[in-house]
């Protein structure tokens, strides 16, 4: 029951001492060592020279600024003194915190003696809560210190940057004024040159306008002559085209008339040949006894230019098979028909000759 709290108290004590030592070392690194090196550098300087300790940022800043070297050195000395005073103050604060830590450790020892006599769980819980509070406090102090240092560095950077920006702005303004002056001089010269060029251009323009007007009048005259010539040519072409069109129309009408006449003549001749063929077929047609006068058969007779039959087919039956066969037989009885010798007329009407046959009045 007592061994576990005692072990924890000893562990808390060692952890606290370790945290204090680490804090002291960190503060020494931040503030003690620069003073040590500063004093060491002071002893190495010759007695006849006045040494001024400055940091890297101040050296870079002094290279940018344009001011009196004596005033600048004085300012750097004052800044260094202020910096050393600030380091001393921070060292005092560290010592106070160290004494405070020693006092707190003594209190913890006294509390450990009291805790040895405590056996209840409530005392243990209180110790644990105190430990958590202490850890939060140390973490908060550490965070605050880090934020303070970061803020200080940021402020120094901002001050340097602001000064550098001001110097750059000053240089930029001087450069802008010089450029503005050069620009004004250039604009004046450019204006003078432009006026002279304008005068030359105006003279050239007038001469060009005069020449252009002369050329325009000459071109206008040539264009008018060309237009008159073209209009006359177009009228001649239109007359020739009209004469040609009328001649073609007349020839077309004559050709159409001749074609109609030839077609009528061909149809008349074909009808004459077809009547002869029909009469010849009907003269040898043996109509069956059962055929009626209203029956009709449509045949397609395939002929060659010699008039010989190569095939006969029923295109439309009469409904009486005996009548259809008798009509086909009548065609086949004729060995050769009289057909026109003209190839065009034969191909048009007799290559495939269609004929209807009815028994009416043929018995």
Residue 11 has pLDDT above 70, yes or no: no
User: What pLDDT shows up at residue 330?
Assistant: 95
38 pLDDT higher than 90: no
- Extract the tokens encoding 92: 């005092």
pLDDT mean over 202-217? 92
Q: Over 90: is that where the pLDDT of 312 sits? A: yes
Q: Cite the residue boundaries of each domain of the chain with CATH code 3.30.1150.10.
A: 284-357
Residue 334 pLDDT class (50, 70, 90 cuts): very high
The stretch 132-144 carries a mean pLDDT of: 94
What is the pLDDT at residue 49? Answer: 45
Q: 299: which residues sit within 8 A by CB, 6+ positions away?
A: 312, 313, 314, 315, 327, 328, 331, 354, 355, 356, 357
* Burial grade of 296 (CB within 10 A; 0-12, 13-18, 19 or more): middle
Question: What pLDDT, on the 0 to 100 scale, is given for residue 4?
Answer: 47
pLDDT of residue 56: 52
Cα separations in angstroms, 316 against 148, 289, 323 = 122, 21, 12
Q: What is the pLDDT of residue 362?
A: 61
The whole-number pLDDT of residue 23 equals 56
Cα separation, 111 vs 5, whole angstroms = 12
Task: Identify the weakest region by mean pLDDT among 122-126, 247-251, 256-260, 300-304.
Answer: 256-260
Q: Which of 67-71, 89-93, 191-195, 335-339 has the lowest mean pLDDT?
A: 67-71
What's the burial of 202, exposed, middle or buried (CB within 10 Å: 0-12/13-18/19+)? exposed
Confidence of residue 272 (pLDDT cuts 50, 70, 90): very high
Measure CA of the first residue to CA of the last residue in the chain; give whole Å. Answer: 153
Confidence of residue 127 (pLDDT cuts 50, 70, 90): very high
State which H helix or E strand residue 302 sits in. Answer: strand 297-303
Question: How does residue 255 score in pLDDT terms, banded at 50, 70 and 90?
Answer: confident
pLDDT at position 361 is 58
Confidence of residue 71 (pLDDT cuts 50, 70, 90): confident
CATH topology of domain 284-357: 3.30.1150
Q: What are phi and psi of 290, to 5 degrees?
A: -85, 0
Is the pTM for the entire model greater than 0.95? no
Mean per-residue pLDDT for 218-247? 93
Mean pLDDT over all residues of the chain?
Answer: 83
Residue 286 φ/ψ, nearest 5 degrees: -100, 105
Buried b (16+ CB within 10 A) or exposed e, 120-145: eeeebeebeeebeebeeeeeeeeeee
């Amino acid at each position: 029951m007592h061994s576990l709290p005692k072990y924890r108290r000893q562990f808390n004590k060692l952890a606290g001492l370790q945290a204090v030592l680490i804090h002291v070392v960190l503060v020494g690194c931040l503030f003690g060592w620069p003073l040590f090196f500063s004093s060491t550098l002071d002893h190495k300087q010759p007695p006849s020279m006045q040494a001024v300790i400055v940091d890297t940022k101040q050296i870079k800043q002094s290279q940018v600024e344009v001011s009196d070297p004596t005033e600048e050195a004085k300012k750097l000395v004052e800044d260094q003194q202020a910096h050393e005073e600030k380091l001393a103050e921070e060292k005092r604060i560290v010592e106070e915190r160290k004494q405070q830590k020693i006092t707190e450790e003594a209190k913890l020892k006294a509390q450990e003696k009291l805790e040895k006599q405590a056996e209840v769980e409530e005392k243990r819980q209180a110790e644990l809560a105190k430990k958590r509070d202490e850890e939060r406090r140390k973490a908060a102090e550490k965070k605050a210190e880090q934020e303070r240092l970061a803020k200080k560095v940021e402020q120094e950077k901002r001050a340097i940057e602001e000064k550098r920006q001001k110097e750059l702005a000053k240089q930029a303004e001087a450069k802008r004024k010089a450029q503005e002056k050069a620009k004004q001089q250039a604009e004046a010269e450019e204006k003078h040159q432009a006026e002279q060029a304008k005068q030359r251009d105006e003279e050239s323009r007038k001469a060009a306008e005069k020449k252009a007007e002369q050329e325009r009048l000459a071109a206008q005259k040539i264009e008018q002559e060309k237009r008159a010539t073209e209009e006359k040519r177009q009228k001649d072409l239109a007359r020739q085209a009209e004469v040609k069109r009328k001649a073609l129309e007349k020839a077309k009408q004559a050709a159409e008339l001749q074609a109609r006449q030839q077609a009528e003549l061909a149809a008349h001749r074909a009808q004459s040949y077809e009547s002869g063929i029909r009469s010849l077929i009907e003269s040898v047609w043996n109509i069956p006894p059962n055929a009626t006068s209203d029956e009709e058969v449509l045949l397609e007779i395939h002929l060659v230019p010699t008039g010989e039959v190569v095939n006969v087919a029923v295109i439309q039956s009469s409904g009486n098979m005996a009548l259809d066969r008798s009509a086909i037989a009548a065609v086949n009885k004729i060995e050769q028909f009289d057909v026109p010798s003209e190839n065009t007329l034969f191909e048009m009407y007799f290559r495939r000759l269609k004929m209807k046959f009815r028994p009416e009045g043929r018995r």
